[in-house]
Amino acid sequence: MLTILKMAWRNIFRYRSRTTITLVSIVVSVFIAILVDAFLMGVFTQSEVNMLSYECSEVVVYADGYLEKKELFPADIVIESDTRNQMESAFRKEGIDYSPQYRTTAELVFYDEDADFEGTLNTILLGVNPNMDSNVFLRKEGIETGEWLEEGDDGIVVGAGIAGKLGLEVGDILTVECKGMSGFAQTMDVLVKGIMNTENTTFNASYVLMSLDQMDAYLELDGAVNMYAISDGKLSRASDSFTEKVRRVLSGIDGIQVYDFEEDNAGYMAVLNGDKGGSYMVLVFLFIIAGAGIVNTMVMSVLERRKENAMLRAMGFKARTIRILFLAEGMIVGVIGSILGTLLGALVNYPFARFGIDLSNLMDGVDMGYRISFVFKSAWSSHSFVSIPILAVILSTLASFIPVSRVNKGEIAATLRKV
C-alpha cells in the first residue's frame, strides 16, 4: 500500500499544470466556503445575540392567544395583575430572572426648527420595569447620553436611530400618540431622558422605552402587561431544560403560554433558515464546480495512463488496487487543497473575526432583517475549519470515483493495442 501511495503522490506532480488548476479550484472553493460560513455565522450569531440582548428574551410568557396576533400589537390580550402576582411569586421562589413588559405601537410627533425631520414616526413603545429590565436585557447599558428610566418618572428613552431622525436631544419634549388598553387614544408629552445607542441597530431605529408604571397610568393598564421576558442569564437561546423548567413552574397558572426563542420568532427563524439554505446551496455549487475539475483531471489521467494501468493489471495488480491508486491521487489533491484553502480562509477571516468591519456608514437607516451591529464581526468557527475541509476531501475523493470506474474496463490486450 505504501508503494501505491508513493505512486499516487508522484503522479500528482507528473501533470503539474493540471494538478495546479485542480488544486486552485479546491483552494478557492474551501477558502470561499470558510469565509462565507464565517460571515454567515457571524451574521446569525450577532443577530441572535442582539435580539436576545435588546428585543426578545430566551423564554417569553404571553397571555393565551397573544402570539398568534403578536404582529398586530393587540392591546387587550394581557396578563392580568392577579395572574402576574402568581407568576412573579413562582419566579421568585425558583430564582428565575424575569422582566414584565407592555408593548404597543406609538406615533411620535416632534417639531424643531433646527431638525431636518418634521412630522410623525411610527415606533414600538415598550413599557418596562426600570429596575427589573436589566435582569433580562442590556438596554440600560446602551444609554449613550442622558440617563436610564426610573420608576414613577415621567420620561422616556429613545433609540439613537429615532433620535437621529427626529433631531432629538436629551431634555426635549416629545409627543407620543398611542392607544390605551381599552382602545382609547392617548397623547402624552414626555421628556426625553436618555438616548440608547445599542449594538442592535433595528432596536435603535424603532424602540421607545417608558417606565411601566407610567405607561400603566397613561394607558390604564390596571396592572396588566402583555408579556414576561425570562432569561437564564446567558444571552443565548435557552436550553430545553430551562424552557421546561419555566413551563413546569408556571404549569398551575391559567391563561398564559410559555414560548422559547424559536416559537416566539417563527417568522425570523423561517427567514434565517431560508437564507441559510440559500447560502449553503451556493457553497454546494462551489464544491460541484471544484468536483467537476477533479472529475476532469482524473478522466484525463485515466485516459492517458490506460497503457500503464493495463501493464499493472498484466503484472497481477487487482482492479481494486489500481482504483485505490487513482482515488488516493484525488484524495491527496483534496487534502492539500483543503489545507491551503483552510489556512487562507483562516488568515483572511482573522481580522474580520478579531477586529470586525465598521459598517456604520452602510448600515445607517438600513433594515436588512438581521440585527447586525455597526461593527460587524465574522465568526471564528472551529467547526467550519474542520467540517469544510473534511467535506472537500470527501467530495474530491468521491469525484474521483466516476473516472476511476473506467480504469479496469475491457481486455488488457485490447487496451494495450489501442494506445
Cα–Cα distance for residue pair 99/137, rounded to 1 Å? 9
**173 vs 413, beta carbon nearer another protein:** 413
Widest distance between CA atoms in the chain:
98
Q: In the numeric block, which cell numbers belong to residue 147?
A: 440617563
Which amino acid does the sequence have at 394? Answer: I
Q: Which CB atom, from 4 or from 335, has the smaller least distance to another protein?
A: 4
Of 310 and 379, the one with the shorter C-beta distance to another protein is 310
Judged by beta carbon, residue 170 or residue 312, the one nearer another protein is 312
CB of 411 to another protein, least distance (A): 5
Which residues have CB under 8 Å from 44's CB, separation 6+?
Answer: 272, 276, 370
- Distances in Å between the Cα of 100 and the Cα atoms of 135, 326, 347, 407 are 11, 65, 45, 71
Q: Which residue, 14 or 69, is less far from another protein as judged by CB? A: 14
Nearer to another protein by C-beta: 93 or 320? 320
Q: Are strands 173-179 and 185-196 parallel, antiparallel or unpaired?
A: antiparallel
> Minimum Å distance from CB 13 to another protein?
8
Q: How far apart are CA 136 and CA 238, in angstroms?
A: 12
Residues within the interface to another protein (CB under 8 A): 3-4, 6-7, 10-11, 14, 307-308, 310-319, 321, 411-414, 416
Q: How far is the CB of 16 from another protein (least distance, A)?
A: 12
Residue number with CB closer to another protein (196 or 302) = 302
Task: Give me the least distance between CB of 11 and another protein, in Å please.
Answer: 6
**CA–CA distances in Å: residue 401 to residues 150, 260, 262, 323, 407:** 69, 46, 41, 8, 10
By C-beta, is 237 or 306 nearer to another protein? 306
Residue 23 or 138 having the CB closest to another protein: 23
Based on CB atoms, which residue is closest to another protein, 103 or 313? 313
Sign, CA torsion 343/344/345/348: positive
* Residue 392 CB, nearest approach to another protein (Å): 25
Q: How far is the CB of 342 from another protein (least distance, A)?
A: 28
Q: How far is the CB of 18 from another protein (least distance, A)?
A: 15
Q: How far is the CB of 316 from another protein (least distance, A)?
A: 3
> Measured in whole angstroms, how far is the alpha carbon of residue 138 from the centre of its chain?
19
Q: Please, what is the minimum distance in Å from the beta carbon of residue 312 to another protein?
A: 8
Query: What is the closest distance, in whole angstroms, from the C-beta atom of residue 328 to another protein in the complex?
Result: 13
User: Which three three-digit cell numbers place residue 239?
Assistant: 436550553
Do 333 and 12 meet the contact criterion of CB atoms below 8 Å apart? yes
